[in-house]
Amino acid sequence: MRFIDYIVMALRNIMRQKLRSALTIFAVVIGATSVTIMLAAVFSLKGFMTKQLEANGTFQQIQVSPQQDIAWGDGGNTGCADCTKLTDELVTKISTQPHVMGVARMVQLGQMQALTYGDQKLRLNQVSAYDTNGILHNNVVAGRDLNAQDKDGVLTITSDYANKLGFKNNYRALVGKSVGLVTQNWYNGVGSDPAKQYKDQMAWFEAHPGQDGRDYTPPSTTLTGTIVGIVDSGFSSFTVRVPLAWARGMSESQTYQVTKADQEAAQAKCRAAHTPCNSQPAPHLVVSDELAKQGYSSLIVKADQSSNANGVAKNIRDKFHVGAADAQTQIKQQLAIFNVLGYILGGIGGIALVVAAVGVINTMVMSILERTREIGVMRAVGARRSTVSRLFTFEAGLLGMLGGVIGLGLGYGVVLIANPIINKQLQTNGVTGSNIITLPLWLIFGVIGLTTLIGLLAGLYPARRAAKLDPVEALHYE
Amino acid sequence: MPAIIQLKNVTKTYTLGDEVLKALNSVNFSIEPGEFIAITGPSGSGKSTLANIIGGLDRPTEGSVVVDGNDLARVRDSKLSAYRNTHIGFVFQSFNLQGSQTALENVMLPLVFARMRAKDRKARATECLQAVGLGDRLRHRPSQLSGGQRQRVAIARALATKPSIIIADEPTGNLDSARGEEIIKLLKELHDTGITLIIITHDPTIARQAERIVIIRDGRLAERRA
């Protein structure tokens, strides 16, 4: 029997019992549709995120931190015992390493307590500062990102802050507005008034004689900044970003002090004049660059190519005894969760397909019972056992294939409906990208191939039964 | 002339529960080319079993069925099927047509298994239907045809692969006598073209028209030349 005749005959037999065939195929369709949608969604999302990160240059980035055993994205810690300080000297050395395109210094300042806008006051734990040298990009949804010209008094806030401030869908209106950064009480960086603070403290001591200085609480300072841009929240929902120059000032310690040197100088003066030294010498302003003393929280190193990121990270780790992790390795591990998700969801669709396979077996067994006489006739006019077997296997495979094709079509329909919805969602979040869910070719052929295979496998047992029928008995079957 | 089919000591037994039934008991029988044989006997005597074994639809429990030097009792299924396809044309009492298919499609069925091209199949099937006088009924389904016409379609199907033997098992059993006579007349005409004709019947008037009458009683043969 010719191959084409198998197809024609199988198709004709399927058409003969339209309702039953349709119901059987329906079960396959459900399985195929769910497998299609689930796998397409999971793998498209994974691909989209990977592409997004690739486009941001994230895969070229290496995070350097004072601690040696640190993963990418963990943030820096300047306070540990066996840490290596991330100093400007180190930054210079790292910049000259092979495959390094540039370094951005980062600081997390934890001396903040609130962000104010008009009479609104939102919680603010820390301010992020970084070199605005083009190595770190942020996803700007309104206004602009910080640039190299920016100094004190400029900042960006995340869209989550903007939403909380009541500017959802109207981010543009926030650009150019002033906000206040309310510091913690002991803040004595740029913008504070160290002379007044000294005076207030002295006054308090006079008013509370014999009391411990620890009971004195200085007032907080409010720094004023202009919003130049709103940045997509991404993974860090409530963040205020400032240029590194401003952060350097914020981390300064400005205090009026009478140092030991002052006292010695005063005493020497008294001795020389032969007068008793009764009064304290006048205090003077001492400014200390704490950032230089403590080092940066972390550095972001940009490799020339994403494929070199891992090597650069290893080199930095080995040479400078700091922590260095490339984003790529880390993120790819994290994205592997999508594979697991894909397998789980695909598995659910797979169960539906198993149920569908049972349906195919049932239909075929019934069909063979009904067509026993017909099988007898086919055998009498020259059909081999293998011909009969193949015919029914083909029929079952065709049921599976039709189910797969229809399921794929339905899945495609769902994708067509889902994409515009996702597009809209992406747009409101300021993410560039449209029609992110796609049906890759491997999925199309995979689903049709899978359902066809399931059909063929489901057809094996009924086909064997049909082939084993005794032609003489089959011809007289009622 | 050498025998085209030779049955040697053919025994066929069926087991029904504890009872062993001998449908055929050491039957020796040979068929020569172009013969017209009537196999007759009471019901349950084993005449259908004999016809099925000759036609390669069934295998004997013991003994051999020799065709062209091959023992049908021992050949593989594929070879036996090919034998049924090319050498034998079956005509059944209950026609055994595919109800969902047209007369033409029914006649084309053996040609499908003979791996003939669709176009050639159609031509050959049309030819066969014309030969049985149904050239104007090609697109009719069995339900649209009379009993006699249905049996003609079955005969056309038996003829499709140009077999050397036609085995008709009670071909007139489901027809009135007038239609029955027409069918016998048609079969005899085919026999006149050189085809070996084997009719299984319990009707003596049909049996009498054969060149050779084989009577089966309790699985044993008794032969009589016409």
pLDDT, tens digit, 9 for 90 and up, residues B203-218: 899 999 999 999 998 8
Structure confidence at residue B225 (pLDDT): 61
Structure confidence at residue A400 (pLDDT): 95
The alpha helices in B30-117, defined as continuous H runs, are 47-54, 77-87, 103-113
Residue % of chain A over a pLDDT of 90: 38
At A160-198, the pLDDT tens digits run 899 999 998 889 999 999 999 999 888 888 888 888 888
Nearest to B55 by CA among B114, B7, B124: B7
Candidates B52, B90, B113; nearest CB to A387: B113
Q: Give me the mean pLDDT over the A292-306 stretch.
A: 87
Q: Which residue of A has its CA nearest to B92?
A: A475
The DSSP output letter for B143 is: G
What is the rounded CA–CA span in Å between residue A126 and residue A109?
5
Question: Residue-wise over A232-246: b if at least 16 C-beta within 10 A, else e?
Answer: bbbeeebbbbbbbbb
Q: Is B52 on the interface with A (CB under 8 A)?
A: yes
Query: Higher model confidence: residue A48 or residue B110?
Result: B110
Query: Higher model confidence: residue B124 or residue A341?
Result: B124
What is the rounded CA–CA span in Å between residue A273 and residue A293?
39
Query: Higher model confidence: residue A339 or residue B171?
Result: B171
The CATH number of B35-46+76-216 is 3.40.50.300
In Å, how far is B207's CA from the nearest CA of chain A? Answer: 24
Candidates B97, B100, B110; nearest CB to A382: B110
Q: Is residue A364 part of a domain?
A: yes
Mean pLDDT, rounded, of chain A: 87
The alpha helices in A230-326, defined as continuous H runs, are 244-251, 260-273, 290-294, 309-320
Q: Give me the mean pLDDT over the A413-442 stretch.
A: 81
In Å, how far is B154's CA from the nearest CA of chain A? Answer: 11
The alpha helices in A274-384, defined as continuous H runs, are 290-294, 309-320, 327-370, 372-380
Q: Is A387 on the interface with B (CB under 8 A)?
A: yes
ipTM surpasses 0.85: yes
Candidates A374, A382, A475; nearest CB to B92: A475
Q: Which residue of A has its CA nearest to B166?
A: A381
SS3 A240: strand
Which stretch of B16-20, B92-96, B183-187 has the lowest confidence by average pLDDT?
A: B16-20
In chain B, residues with a C-beta closer than 8 Å to the C-beta of A373 are: 96
Q: Is residue A28 part of a domain?
A: yes
Q: Which residue of B has its CA nearest to A470?
A: B58
Whether residues A380 and B90 touch (CB distance < 8 A) is answered with: yes
CA angle B44, B31, B195 (to 5 degrees): 100
Question: Residue-wise over A112-128: b if at least 16 C-beta within 10 A, else e?
Answer: bbbbbbeeeebebebbb
Whether residues B112 and A384 touch (CB distance < 8 A) is answered with: no
What is the rounded CA–CA span in Å between residue A134 and residue B81?
80
In chain B, residues with a C-beta closer than 8 Å to the C-beta of A1 are: 112-113, 115
Find where tokens 């009707």 sit.
B203
At B77-135, the pLDDT tens digits run 999 999 999 999 999 999 999 988 999 999 999 999 999 999 999 999 999 999 999 99
Q: Which tokens hold the place of A260?
A: 């030991």
Question: Residue-wise over A346-379: b if at least 16 C-beta within 10 A, else e?
Answer: beebbebbeebbebbbebbeebbeebbbbbbbbb
Give counts: helices (H), strands (E), chain B.
Answer: 7, 10
Would you say residue A256 has pLDDT above 70? yes
Structure confidence at residue A465 (pLDDT): 94
SS3 B117: coil
Q: Is residue A415 part of a domain?
A: yes
Answer whether A28's CB lies under 8 Å from A399's CB: yes
Q: Is residue A405 part of a domain?
A: yes
Q: Is residue A330 part of a domain?
A: no
What is the rounded CA–CA span in Å between residue A319 and residue A317?
6
CA angle A366, A372, A377 (to 5 degrees): 150
Query: Higher model confidence: residue A398 or residue A327?
Result: A398
Please name the helix (run of DSSP H) or strand (run of DSSP E) that holds residue B167, with its range, or none. Answer: strand B165-169
Q: Is B215 on the interface with A (CB under 8 A)?
A: no
Q: Is A466 on the interface with B (CB under 8 A)?
A: no
Q: At what angle do helices A3-16 and A18-56 cross, to 10 degrees?
A: 110
Nearest to A76 by CA among A314, A324, A332: A324
Q: Is B164 on the interface with A (CB under 8 A)?
A: no
Q: How confident is the model at residue B1 (pLDDT cuts 50, 70, 90)?
A: very low
Whether residues A385 and B58 touch (CB distance < 8 A) is answered with: no
Q: Is residue A406 part of a domain?
A: yes
A22: domain range? 3-54+335-475
Whether residues B114 and A382 touch (CB distance < 8 A) is answered with: yes
Residue % of chain A over a pLDDT of 70: 95
Q: Is residue A391 part of a domain?
A: yes
How many domains would you assign to chain A? 1
Q: Is residue A351 part of a domain?
A: yes
Please name the helix (run of DSSP H) or strand (run of DSSP E) that holds residue A389, with its range, or none. Answer: helix A385-428
In chain B, residues with a C-beta closer than 8 Å to the C-beta of A384 are: 77-78, 81-82, 113
Q: Which residue of B has its CA nearest to A386?
A: B78
Backbone angles phi, psi at B95, to 5 degrees: 65, -45
